[in-house]
Structure 1
Amino acid sequence: MAVPRIALAGPLLALLLAVSALASPEGRLLGGEDAAANEYPWSASLRHNKAHTCMACIISPSQLLTAAHCVSDLGTTPVAASSLGVRVGSINQYAGGQIVNVQSVLIHPSYGNFLHDLAIITLTEPLVFTERIAAATLPAKVEEEGEGESGEEEVSTELPNGTPVYVAGWGEISDGSTPYKLQKANYATLSAPYCELAAGYGYASCLCLTSAERQGICRGDAGAAVIDDDKVLQGITSFQFSDCGSAYPDVASRIYYYLDWIEANAK
């Protein structure tokens, strides 16, 4: 359950700073703003041995998504489901709502070195949805047509560069402590070519996120939902480069890329 510390250096940092300046979102998880009680009803605290370790996102009454590294014992072998639980229906990570046990964990078969960093958690009992417990909406599938004899171009499913997105988590804040109340943050997406130039991470399976320096995800925020203005789930947070709040982009798994796998294993 380690948090990666990937050190980067080089002239590409200046490019990232310039791109970030084009869409500098306000707010942050690292020293962020309190979320309202029913503002992020899909957010859950993933608990290992009864302690918060990561975030998870509700996608149905019985299943949640989280980052694979949060539940990996070794590679694609998960930790014992009996050691896990999720708190739902509360913005207080220590109280309120309910804690539900985990029946099983499925890690994406291609997970490794923080690529394909996605896992499905199945609960021992289904959730009862309320205004404080609800599922995030998965992206709608787009019929993609490759360029062929018709001359039609392939439809892009990537979010445009600078798209506003939102994250909520219980990760570390600016003074190094862990907040009891759910924190929310505004981000902007960084398209694959820009992310490749800025951090060498322009993978189709990833969604890169920009924020102002000294802002961003931190330890305990992995597995959180990345939601757009239409409240559609666009990503699940994975890791940050270097220290929390560095000038480099934060990285999430791009949900659209994994729709087939999620739907094949959804209940």
Structure 2
Amino acid sequence: MADPRITLGLGLLIFGLILTTEASPQGRILGGEDVAQGEYPWSASVRYNKAHVCSGTIISISHILTAAHCVSSVGTTPVEASTLAVRVGTINQYAGGIIVNVKKVVIQPSYGNFLHDIAILELDESLLFNTRVAAIALPPKVEESEDVDAELPNGTPVYVAGWGELSNGTASYKQQKANFNTLSRSLCEWEAGYGYASVVCLSRAEGEGICRGDAGAPVIDEKNVLRGVTSFQFGPCASKYPDVATRVSYYLSWIEANTQ
């Protein structure tokens, strides 16, 4: 007869292996999947001292939109433009495409505490558009008297693509995409106390969402119109709270004034 202590030990070992297998990270962005080459040609990897720090969006041959906190030194004072560059035309943040240096950084003058979290990067040379490098369409203006929820009603499907952390905590070399739904101002206020007209709140299943490295990524609708710039998540990545993006239509006049 087998020694019962050995039998018990083997049972615990097998049980432990099963638990480890079931609990191990799946190596994906939080709820996302790989982007196909050329699927989001307006995407940019924003690089600080040659390393990816945030994502960005091409809005013209010489301008990239990103989150202000990605390029802020202190408040509205930007880091030196010479420390910044963008990689475009590839889904691989480490290779392919081209790297273009940044000539000027313009941070939204009201930026602070993640509100008005938007910035424009002016490139020191114009981009050559092709199937892998293109500008995204900007949304129509929203008048101050309009209800911003009419622009993106609660539950509107939107999509985000970036190079944020994977579920195993490592940086993603390949761009990832994920589906979200917009959350109305009242529901965002209810769930997170953050019902500002200048932001778009994004709902998703718990265990999914944006993470470090995804800030500045484009939030696009089903017609490939830029609706937001990802800003931050409450607490740890993939928490029960909604993710937050800066509403692009709120800043169209400022964007136009600084990209002429």
TM-score after normalising by structure 2 = 0.87
Aligned to 2:185: 192
Aligned to 2:213: 220
Aligned to 1:90: 90
Identity fraction in percent: 68
Q: Which structure has the highest helix share of the two?
A: 2
Any residues of structure 2 matched to 1:229-240 within 5 Å, and which? Answer: 229-240=222-233
- 1:141 Cα deviation after fit: 2.6
Instruction: Tell me the alpha carbon deviations over residues 170-219 of structure 1, each in whole angstroms, 9 at most, x when there is no partner.
Output: 10010001111100000000011100011000000000001110100000
Q: Is the 8 A contact 1:31 1:175 kept in 2?
A: no
Q: Is the 8 A contact 1:31 1:173 kept in 2?
A: no
Any residues of structure 2 matched to 1:243-258 within 5 Å, and which? Answer: 243-258=236-251
Aligned to 1:118: 118
* Alpha-carbon distance in 1 for matches of 2:84, 2:157: 32
* Alpha-carbon distance in 1 for matches of 2:75, 2:228: 21
Any residues of structure 2 matched to 1:141-220 within 5 Å, and which? Answer: 141=141, 144=143, 154=146, 156=148, 157-220=150-213
Aligned to 1:8: none
* Partner secondary structure for residue 82 of structure 2: helix
Q: Is the 8 A contact 2:29 2:172 kept in 1?
A: no
Q: Name which of structure 1's ranges 157-166 and 55-64 shifts more when overlaid on structure 2.
A: 157-166
* Alpha-carbon distance in 2 for matches of 1:108, 1:233: 18
Aligned to 2:50: 50
Q: What is the total number of aligned residue pairs between the two structures?
A: 232
* Partner secondary structure for residue 99 of structure 2: strand
Instruction: Tell me the alpha carbon deviations over residues 33-88 of structure 1, each in whole angstroms, 9 at most, x when there is no partner.
Output: 00000111111000000000000100000001000000000000000000000000
Q: Is the 8 A contact 2:162 2:214 kept in 1?
A: yes
* Alpha-carbon distance in 2 for matches of 1:46, 1:199: 28
Aligned to 2:104: 104
Q: Is the 8 A contact 2:220 2:227 kept in 1?
A: yes
* Partner secondary structure for residue 253 of structure 2: helix
Aligned to 1:3: none
* Alpha-carbon distance in 2 for matches of 1:35, 1:191: 28
Aligned to 2:21: none
* Alpha-carbon distance in 2 for matches of 1:241, 1:265: 30
- 1:140 Cα deviation after fit: 1.7
Aligned to 2:14: none
Q: Is the 8 A contact 1:67 1:118 kept in 2?
A: yes
Q: Is the 8 A contact 2:31 2:178 kept in 1?
A: no
Aligned to 1:65: 65
* Alpha-carbon distance in 2 for matches of 1:231, 1:56: 15
In structure 2, list runs of 5 or more residues that go unmatched.
1-27
- 1:266 Cα deviation after fit: 1.1
- 1:30 Cα deviation after fit: 1.6
* Alpha-carbon distance in 1 for matches of 2:136, 2:144: 27
* Alpha-carbon distance in 2 for matches of 1:225, 1:119: 13
* Greater Cα radius of gyration, structure 1 or 2: 2
Kindly indicate whether structure 1 or structure 2 has the higher relative contact order, using CA contacts under 8 Å at least 6 residues apart.
1
- 1:158 Cα deviation after fit: 3.2
Amino acid at match of 2:43: S
Aligned to 1:39: 39
* Alpha-carbon distance in 2 for matches of 1:159, 1:94: 34
- 1:155 Cα deviation after fit: 6.1
Amino acid at match of 2:168: D
Amino acid at match of 1:55: S
* Partner secondary structure for residue 60 of structure 2: coil
TM-score after normalising by structure 1 = 0.84
- Say what the alpha-carbon RMSD is for the aligned residues: 1.4
In structure 1, list runs of 5 or more residues that go unmatched.
1-27, 147-153
